[in-house]
Amino acid sequence: MGMGLVQEVVGLSSPTGKDKSPVACQNTLKSSIGCTGIGLHSGRKVSMTLHPADAETGIVFERSDMGGGTGTVGASWQNVVDTRMATTLGNSDGALVSTVEHLMAALAGCGIDNAIVEIDGPEVPVMDGSAAPFVFLVECAGMRLQDAPRLAIKIEKPIMVGDDRKFLSIRPEEAFSVSFEIDFDDSPMARQQLSLRLANGTFKTEIARARTFGFAHEVDALRKAGLARGGSLDNAVVINGNTVMNGDGLRYRDEFVRHKILDCVGDLYLAGAPLIGAVDALRSGHALNSSLLHTLFDNPDAWSYVEMMETLVPGTSHMEETGSERAFA
C-alpha cells in the first residue's frame, strides 16, 4: 500500500451484516489526460497530466521539470512537509508539490487508487478552487478496473487530535463519513455544520464543486507571506464581513463547510488507502488532518487493512466500465 506498514488483511462484512457484497477491485485511469492552470499560492502557470498506473502503485507525483529521478514524490502522509494554508508534499531531494488536497480529494471521491501525476512545477493548479475540474478529468479519461483487490483502512479504535477549540477525530464505523463544523470569528456566514456519508457518488454531487474561500482583510498579509499570489474571484470565494464578493454568489448555501470536508477528504487520502470510519471535526485544517494520520499510524492497534466491499466504494457509480479515450497532449 505504499506506506511501509504491514498488517493482516481481513475481510469486511457488509454494513447490514448479511451476505457480503463483492470485493472491490483497484482502479486506475483508462487514458492520460491533463490540464493547465495557475498555482493558488505561487501564482505560477503549471501543466499537469494524469497517467494510468499499475496496481499497487498508489498516487505518485512526478516533477517533470526536475531531472535525474529527483522529482518523484509519493502521495503519502509520511511526505507531508508543510500545512500552512495548503498541504505540501516533499522528498529528500528537495522536490515539492503543494496544494495537493483538491486533486487528492477528487481521486478519492472517484475511487482512483493508482495514478502518476506528471506536473511541471511545484504546485497543483487551482483551477476554479474546487475539485470539480479534476473529477471532470477523471470522467473524461475513464476508469479501468485492475486485477487486484482494493484494500481499505478500517478504524478499530477512536483516535483524536486537537483540543476543545479545534479537533479532528475518527472512530469505528461501517462506512466513511464526515461530520464537520466550522465557526470563524471573522464572519457569521462562516458558521456552518454538515454531516455526510461519502459513498456511491456523494462526493461528486455534494462536495466536489465547493470552492476554497478566504477573507478580504487577510489577502494582503497572505501575499506578503508569499501565499495566495494566484488567488482571485475566479478560483476562490472571498468573504467581506457578511458579504460574498463573487458576482455569481455561492454554489451551495453552506459552501464553506463543504469545502472544508473536501480538504479533509483529500488530506486523509494521503493515508494510502480509503478509510472506513466516522470523522468528526471542529475547525480542523490541514495541520490537524496531517496530525490525525500520524497519530493513527503511531497506534497500530487502532486500525487494520480490510478488503473493501463494492457497496462502500466512494466513486461515481457510472464510471467503472465507461469513459472516453480523450487525452490532453
Q: What residues are annotated to the active site?
A: 286
Residue 159 in 3-state DSSP?
strand
β partners of residue 207: none
CA–CA dist 205, 269 (Å, integer) = 19
Distances (CA, A) of 265 to 47, 109, 148, 279: 24, 8, 23, 10
Strands 237-240 and 213-215: parallel
Separation of alpha carbons 131 and 33, rounded Å: 16
- Name, in order, each residue with C-beta under 8 angstroms of 170's C-beta and a sequence gap of 6 or more: 155, 158, 159, 160, 275, 277, 278, 279, 280, 292, 296
Q: What residues contact 192, with CB distance under 8 A and at least 6 apart?
A: 181, 182, 254, 256, 257
Amino acid code (one letter) for 62: E
| Three cell numbers written together for 287 | 495541520
Residues 6+ apart with CB under 8 A from 148: 25, 26, 55, 56
Specify the 3-state DSSP secondary structure of 29.
Answer: strand
Q: Of 261, 257, 223, whose CA–CA distance to 237 is shortest?
A: 257
Cα-to-chain-centroid distance, residue 9: 24
Length of the chain in terms of residues written: 329
